[in-house]
């Protein structure tokens, strides 16, 4: 029997390649006029990384992605990129932006590109030549020379967002990250936490407030997916230790930008989240899984309320939680783990983080729980820890669904968000039936 080919969905982009010295853009000389070249990349991948790859493959050009414009008019996305060597690739022609056919760009895209070309944009990381400023900053800060512009790895881009990896001539690596709304608080929080617990994060080398950016030294590689038992134990030990070292700094961390997910806060929003889920279930069109009934969602709300109240009686101190403890955000150097990407950092029950670590490799759940039991035994009774373990699977899902607490109230209906919320509700329904939870409640 012949093997079935896997169909990879792709996304098409119109590409505006800019020559930094002249400000010209590169175009295809078509029969009806100058058109923008087009490329396609796999869907659900990092656009900046993939776009650089296909631009290199198509035209042999090294480019830095400056910005991506996504319009809600059904047209393909448009990407602006700076040529790093300035050379015009074969099959493309350098022209002025106003020589491009009007049909190639909508008005908003054209205006954004004019601002970008003439340095009038509000976003410092979308300006032509900003990468040269970044290299100068890194070299001055570290005392090391960046090996080449073409060797820079780019993982994220868009307005005020950036994530890049720089190699130096003496074989070191540094990461530059910048964030904007709605994640602009990550800058201040990362700086704050790095000062409180420098050994739990990648070493902070420098910060640049006008870019909302910071520079860190490379501190290991992401955990494999799923993680090995050894690395998962290291992650659990490291994160529990981080929580215990900052347990008396809750107010500082909240002031630095951590979201509030303390049990009392989660409990106070159960009715609002439940109302959202009732509406989302009513709009379900898929038949792959039955929607939860209004009656069942109201029962689930009462179980959540009871679980939150019970967790509050256990005397567990509020602590730092990460809220995005996936394998990619845990770096391991073979001896210890450090933690990165704090955009969803919150203050809440520390055992929610234990549950998320368990989910990275459920095969090692007992081992992760034993690490947390040992770590917290100096502050909590064995009985309290055991009851927290029973409560945490349900509450961890609810806390993840609640998130920042701002997505389920008002605003337009977002089908993808509703679909994901329905999926999480079904997971909560399953967790709420666990015998260990029912016994504790």
Q: What CATH number did the domain enclosing 50 receive? A: 3.90.79.10
Considering the domain architecture, whether residues 107 and 249 belong to the same structural domain is answered as no
- Of 151 and 370, the structure prediction assigns the larger pLDDT to 370
Residue 108 three-state SS:
helix
CB neighbour class for 49 (10 Å; exposed up to 12, middle 13-18, buried from 19): middle
Residue 294 three-state SS:
helix
Average pLDDT score over residue span 143-165: 91
- Of 222 and 88, the structure prediction assigns the larger pLDDT to 222
Q: DSSP letter at 207?
A: E
Write down the residue that tokens 């090294």 correspond to.
62
Tell me how far apart the alpha carbons of residues 215 and 343 are, in angstroms, rounded to a whole number.
16
Which has the minimum average pLDDT: 89-98, 315-324, 329-338, 404-413?
A: 404-413
Q: What are phi and psi of 50, to 5 degrees?
A: -75, -35
CA dihedral of 122, 106, 64, 24, whole degrees rounded to 10? -100
Considering the domain architecture, whether residues 77 and 174 belong to the same structural domain is answered as no
Residue 40 three-state SS:
strand
Considering the domain architecture, whether residues 281 and 406 belong to the same structural domain is answered as yes
- Residue 147's CATH number: 3.30.200.20
What are the structure tokens assigned to 333, written together?
Answer: 């150097």
Tell me how far apart the alpha carbons of residues 140 and 80 are, in angstroms, rounded to a whole number.
28
pLDDT digits (tens, 9 = 90+) for 107-132: 999 999 999 988 887 788 989 999 99
pLDDT digits (tens, 9 = 90+) for 82-102: 999 878 888 899 999 999 999
Considering the domain architecture, whether residues 419 and 431 belong to the same structural domain is answered as yes
Split at pLDDT 50, 70, 90, the class of 414 is confident
What are the structure tokens assigned to 322, written together?
Answer: 């990460």
| Domain edge (last residue) among 164, 192, 217 | 217
Considering the domain architecture, whether residues 85 and 232 belong to the same structural domain is answered as no
Which has the minimum average pLDDT: 182-186, 398-402, 407-411?
A: 407-411
Residue 159, pLDDT score: 74
- Domain annotation covers residue 399: yes
pLDDT(5) > 60:
no
Residue 3, pLDDT score: 53
- Domain annotation covers residue 1: no
Split at pLDDT 50, 70, 90, the class of 1 is very low
Tell me how far apart the alpha carbons of residues 373 and 354 are, in angstroms, rounded to a whole number.
10
* E strands present in 121-172: 153-158, 161-167
Tell me how far apart the alpha carbons of residues 146 and 148 are, in angstroms, rounded to a whole number.
6
Considering the domain architecture, whether residues 432 and 292 belong to the same structural domain is answered as yes
- Domain annotation covers residue 267: yes
Considering the domain architecture, whether residues 103 and 145 belong to the same structural domain is answered as no
CA distances from 374 to 35, 81, 363, 380 (A): 64, 51, 19, 10
| In contact, 14 and 34? CB cutoff 8 Å | no
Split at pLDDT 50, 70, 90, the class of 374 is very high
SS3 content of the chain, % helix, strand, coil (to 5): 45, 20, 35
- Domain annotation covers residue 2: no
Average pLDDT score over the chain? 93
Q: In the chain, what percentage of residues exceed pLDDT 70?
A: 98
| Domain edge (last residue) among 122, 140, 160 | 122
| In contact, 63 and 26? CB cutoff 8 Å | no
Number of domains the chain is built from: 3
| In contact, 211 and 178? CB cutoff 8 Å | yes
Residue 6, pLDDT score: 58
Split at pLDDT 50, 70, 90, the class of 8 is confident
Tell me how far apart the alpha carbons of residues 188 and 191 are, in angstroms, rounded to a whole number.
5
- Domain annotation covers residue 138: yes
pLDDT(73) > 70:
no
Considering the domain architecture, whether residues 169 and 241 belong to the same structural domain is answered as no
Tell me how far apart the alpha carbons of residues 309 and 149 are, in angstroms, rounded to a whole number.
55
| Domain edge (last residue) among 166, 191, 217 | 217
Average pLDDT score over residue span 248-276: 96
Strand order from edge to edge, sheet including 346-348: 259-261, 346-348, 319-321
pLDDT(136) > 80:
yes
Residue 54 three-state SS:
helix
Which has the minimum average pLDDT: 1-10, 179-188, 322-331, 389-398?
A: 1-10
What are the structure tokens assigned to 80, written together?
Answer: 């602006």
Element (H, E) at 330: strand 330-332
Considering the domain architecture, whether residues 231 and 355 belong to the same structural domain is answered as yes
Residue 119, pLDDT score: 82
Considering the domain architecture, whether residues 414 and 278 belong to the same structural domain is answered as yes
- Domain annotation covers residue 5: no
Tell me how far apart the alpha carbons of residues 157 and 334 are, in angstroms, rounded to a whole number.
30
Q: Domain residues for 188?
A: 130-217
Check the CA dihedral 291-296-301-307 and report its sign: negative
Q: What are phi and psi of 429, to 5 degrees?
A: -60, -40
Tell me how far apart the alpha carbons of residues 65 and 391 are, in angstroms, rounded to a whole number.
45
Considering the domain architecture, whether residues 252 and 270 belong to the same structural domain is answered as yes
What are the structure tokens assigned to 239, written together?
Answer: 């994160």
Split at pLDDT 50, 70, 90, the class of 7 is low
Considering the domain architecture, whether residues 203 and 229 belong to the same structural domain is answered as no
Residue 260 three-state SS:
strand
Tell me how far apart the alpha carbons of residues 411 and 195 are, in angstroms, rounded to a whole number.
38
Helices 382-402, 365-376: inter-axial angle, 10-degree rounding = 120
- Residue 392's CATH number: 3.90.1200
Selection from 71-80, 304-313, 406-415 with the highest mean pLDDT:
304-313
């Amino acid at each position: 029997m012949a093997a079935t080919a896997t169909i990879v969905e792709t996304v098409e982009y119109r590409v505006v390649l800019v020559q930094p010295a002249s400000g010209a853009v590169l175009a295809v000389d078509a029969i009806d006029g100058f058109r923008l070249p087009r490329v396609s990349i796999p869907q659900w991948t990092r656009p900046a990384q993939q776009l650089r790859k296909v631009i290199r493959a198509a035209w042999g050009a090294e480019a830095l992605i400056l910005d991506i414009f996504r319009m809600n008019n059904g047209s393909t996305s448009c990407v602006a990129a700076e040529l790093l060597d300035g050379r015009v690739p074969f099959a493309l022609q350098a022209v002025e932006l106003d020589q491009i056919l009007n049909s190639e760009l909508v008005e908003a895209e054209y205006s954004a590109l004019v601002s970008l070309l003439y340095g009038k944009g509000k976003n410092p990381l979308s300006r032509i030549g900003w990468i040269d400023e970044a290299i100068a900053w890194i070299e001055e800060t570290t005392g090391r020379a960046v090996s080449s512009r073409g060797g820079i790895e780019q993982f994220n881009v868009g307005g005020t967002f950036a994530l890049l990896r720089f190699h130096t001539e003496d074989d070191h690596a540094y990461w530059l990250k910048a964030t904007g709304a709605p994640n602009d608080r990550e800058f201040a929080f990362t700086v704050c936490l790095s000062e409180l617990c420098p050994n739990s994060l990648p070493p902070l080398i420098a910060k640049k407030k006008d870019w909302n950016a910071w520079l860190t030294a490379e501190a290991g590689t992401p955990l494999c997916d799923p993680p090995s038992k050894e690395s998962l134990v290291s992650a659990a030990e490291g994160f529990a230790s981080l929580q215990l070292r900052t347990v008396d700094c809750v107010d500082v961390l909240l002031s630095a930008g951590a979201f509030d997910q303390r049990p009392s806060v989660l409990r106070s929003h159960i009715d609002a989240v439940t109302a959202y889920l009732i509406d989302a279930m009513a709009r379900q069109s898929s038949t792959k899984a039955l929607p939860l009934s209004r009656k069942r969602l109201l029962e689930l709300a009462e179980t959540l309320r009871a679980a939150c109240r019970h967790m509050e009686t256990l005397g567990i101190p509020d602590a730092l939680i990460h809220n995005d403890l996936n394998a990619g955000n845990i770096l391991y150097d073979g001896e210890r783990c450090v933690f990165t990407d704090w955009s969803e950092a919150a203050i809440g029950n520390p055992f929610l983080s234990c549950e998320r670590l368990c989910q990275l490799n459920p095969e090692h759940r007992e081992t992760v729980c034993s690490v947390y039991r040992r770590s917290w035994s100096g502050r909590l009774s064995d009985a309290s820890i055991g009851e927290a373990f029973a409560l945490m699977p349900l509450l961890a899902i609810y806390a993840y669904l609640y998130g920042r607490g701002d997505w389920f109230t008002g605003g337009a209906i977002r089908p993808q968000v509703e679909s994901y919320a329905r999926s999480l509700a079904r997971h909560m329904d399953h967790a709420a039936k666990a015998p260990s939870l029912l016994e504790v409640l």
